[in-house]
């Protein structure tokens, strides 16, 4: 029996890292993406779990880089079962009218265009093998909006729409596409939010704590697993009970 494999973009981030480790614990070979960040330590941790791991560079703003990454990923292992697209960026809290256009372009090109092209390349392979699934990472800001995060929120809302559209598009191939919308998660992306703002986020969360990368990884793994074989086109919020952050 072939060992299942998973492809994870943004594997050096908090959510991506925990997702890679969880899939490895469950016996999956892992393909990681990296860009300007080392993966050697993570690769060792994955290998220590008795599975294989490959790591390739990925620049989400570069179409050729995306194509090359997925070419390498699908050549690495014979049975790619899941694609998890964690890679993305955010910027400092700012009024939209104060945000520079190059910053807006980078957020859109990385989060939305990059994610869309990753789905495109992954599906060019998955539709041929007629098996597998994709999990996109959205955000609570994509479902309810986020003050001072308009461009980021717009990209995450679009990822949810993309997920729902693709789920219908590729269902005839036996493929599934879902998304996860994290709340406030304690990762490097949110490390700059400290003091009163951080305490306020905890206070607004009914479970009275920040989420962890493992919290999100657990939902990602469930959606990629056979236990979710009749779930597609959905976006699951993992927020500790919060409906929106003010």
**pLDDT (tens digit per residue) in 67-103:** 999 999 999 999 999 999 999 998 888 898 899 999 9
Distances (CA, A) of 95 to 40, 148, 183, 192, 200: 38, 5, 21, 18, 20
Tokens of 105: 């372009």
pLDDT over 70 (residue 1): no
In our burial notation (b when 16+ CB lie closer than 10 A, e otherwise), range 1-10 reads eeebbbbbbb
Question: Is residue 82 a contact partner of residue 19, using CB atoms and an 8 Å limit?
Answer: no
Cα–Cα dist 67/50, whole Å = 29
Q: Which run of H or of E encompasses 56?
A: strand 53-57
pLDDT in tens, 198-226: 788 788 888 989 899 999 999 999 999 99
pLDDT in tens, 13-64: 899 999 999 999 999 999 999 888 888 999 999 999 999 999 999 999 999 9
Q: Which of 28, 79, 141, 152 is catalytic?
A: 152
Backbone angles phi, psi at 220, to 5 degrees: -60, -45
Residue-range domain boundaries for the chain? 5-238
Tokens of 223: 């959606």
Give the pLDDT confidence score for residue 246 in this predicted structure.
62
Cα–Cα dist 91/108, whole Å = 11
Active site residue 79: no
Give the pLDDT confidence score for residue 197 in this predicted structure.
72
Provide the CATH number for the domain formed by 5-238 in this structure. Answer: 3.40.50.720
Angle formed by the axes of helices 14-25 and 213-224, nearest 10°: 50
């Amino acid at each position: 029996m072939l060992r299942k494999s998973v492809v994870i973009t943004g594997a050096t981030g908090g959510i991506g890292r925990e997702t890679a480790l969880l899939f490895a614990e469950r016996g999956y070979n892992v393909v990681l993406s990296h860009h300007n960040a080392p993966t050697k330590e993570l690769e060792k941790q994955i290998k220590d779990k008795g599975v294989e791991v490959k790591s390739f560079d990925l620049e989400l703003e570069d179409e050729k880089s995306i194509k090359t990454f997925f070419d390498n990923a699908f050549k690495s292992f014979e049975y790619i079962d899941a694609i998890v697209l964690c890679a993305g960026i955010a910027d400092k809290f700012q009024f939209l009218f104060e945000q520079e256009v190059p910053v807006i372009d980078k957020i859109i090109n990385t989060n939305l265009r990059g994610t869309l092209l990753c789905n495109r390349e992954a599906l060019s392979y998955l539709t041929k093998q007629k098996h597998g699934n994709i999990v996109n990472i959205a955000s609570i800001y994509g479902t309810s909006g986020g003050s001072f995060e308009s461009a980021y929120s717009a990209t995450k809302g679009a990822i949810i729409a993309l997920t729902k559209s693709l789920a219908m598009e590729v269902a005839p191939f036996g493929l599934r596409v879902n998304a996860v919308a994290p709340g406030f998660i304690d990762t490097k992306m949110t490390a700059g939010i400290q003091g009163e703002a951080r305490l306020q986020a905890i206070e607004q969360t009914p479970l009275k704590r920040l989420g962890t990368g493992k919290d999100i990884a657990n939902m990602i793994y469930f959606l990629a697993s056979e236990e979710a074989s009749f779930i597609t086109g959905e976006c699951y919020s993992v927020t500790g009970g919060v409906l929106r952050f003010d």
